[in-house]
Amino acid sequence: MAASDKVAGAHARTGGSTHVDPGTGWHQGEGAGTVGNPQWNRRSDGASLRSQLVNVIWRTMLTIWRAKVLLRRRGPVDPTRVGRVRLRVLPTDIDLLRHMNNGRYASLFDLGRFDLLIRTGIWDVLKEREWYAVVASETITFRKSLELWQKFTVETRLLAHDDKSVYMVHRAVVKGEIYAEMIVRARFLRRSGGIVPHEELFEALHRPDTLSALDPWILDWAKASALPSTRAEAPSIWE
């Protein structure tokens, strides 16, 4: 269930001035100047990208290892349980305003999904039955900024499901206080094709379906944010 992540570009030397696009975090040149050393810029961009990728990969590997150890020692947890992964804001997480980049939240919330799927036993069921999960849509709300070196906890919970999708909630929490919250709509699919019914999923887990009913606004959001199916046309037309 991976989501995309922004990577800030390197400083470019120009004969004029530079400014930062507040929407993307990329540096852009202004005035009549030209980039002083394109090769240096490409190397810096590549190094930044590699650094960020390695950072996420190591965190993912450690999270998966920890979750499998806990599963082996304590057994599977109830699917309605809140999973918690403790993290710290690293230099590779922050943007030019020195707080965690908005794109990084989605990547780190992925760790919460790995942890919960493994510890509930869903991960092993997916592998055994050749099922897999995909994110269909997500929405995030920011309340407070996470600063460099700040400790926080990713809290994750399976919220509810409808006839096709399951909904999860991720939170970035500091000392019990919510800093950001994301709602994710995902689907479990068969590699041979088709959606896995939730009755079949819980039967495979040998657990009853005890997830709560969906709040009406979440159903409205899911419907309003949906794009055309992969079998329908989806032209990019701006009105």
Question: What domains, with CATH codes, occur in the chain?
Answer: 17-224 (3.10.129.10)
Torsion of CA 22, 23, 27, 31, to 10 degrees: -70
Q: Is the pLDDT of residue 92 over 80?
A: yes
What would the mean pLDDT of 156-175 be, rounded to a whole number? 94
Q: Tell me what pLDDT residue 7 has.
A: 33
Q: Is the pLDDT of residue 20 over 50?
A: no
What would the mean pLDDT of 138-156 be, rounded to a whole number? 97
Q: Is the dihedral of CA 195, 198, 199, 203 positive or negative?
A: positive
Q: Is the pLDDT of residue 9 over 70?
A: no
Q: Tell me what pLDDT residue 90 has.
A: 94
**Whether this model's pTM surpasses 0.95:** no
Q: Is the pLDDT of residue 52 over 80?
A: no
Q: Is the pLDDT of residue 138 over 70?
A: yes
Please list the residues that pair with 203 across neighbouring strands. none
